[in-house]
Amino acid sequence: MPKTIYRIMGKKGRSTIPLVFRIALDMRKGDTLAYTLDGRTVTVRKERRCECHKAGSAELAFPSGENAEALTRLLDSLTPVQLRAALVAMSVKWAETEGSDER
């Protein structure tokens, strides 16, 4: 597998992760990616998802016990910018389910 593949960023700031990399990392639609900036280098890493998402469920389960503690640790580790992004993402997810037959 090549170590470097060059891509041109589109006008909306988008770029596609090359297929050979997606296959090597078993990346699929809906996976969580982490971007890290170190000087002039951006690292993209596939992240593990919490247990409530491993089954592919779109519904967020409210954690209790150990899961609640893990969620608290995760939220405490986020920067204010990351917390805001998480809140926005959860608000969108919640709004999408408002019209459904759930509860």
- Give me the CATH number covering residue 2: 2.10.260.10
Structurally, how many domains does the chain consist of? 2
Parallel, antiparallel, or unpaired for β 41-47 and 32-38? Answer: antiparallel
35 plus 80 within the same structural domain? no
Q: Which residues of the chain have pLDDT under 50?
A: 55-60, 103
pLDDT at 51: 53
* pTM across the whole model: 0.44
Query: What DSSP designation does 9 have?
Result: P
Query: CB–CB of 5/13 below 8 Å?
Result: no
Residue 63 CA, chain-centre distance (Å), reads: 18
pLDDT given for residue 39 in this prediction: 92
Residue 42 in contact with residue 36, Cβ under 8 Å? Answer: yes
Query: 75 and 41 in one domain?
Result: no
**What does the alpha-carbon distance between residue 34 and residue 44 come to, in Å, rounded to a whole number?**
6
- 44 and 16 inside one domain: yes
What range does the domain containing 98 cover?
54-103
Residues 44 and 58 in one domain: no
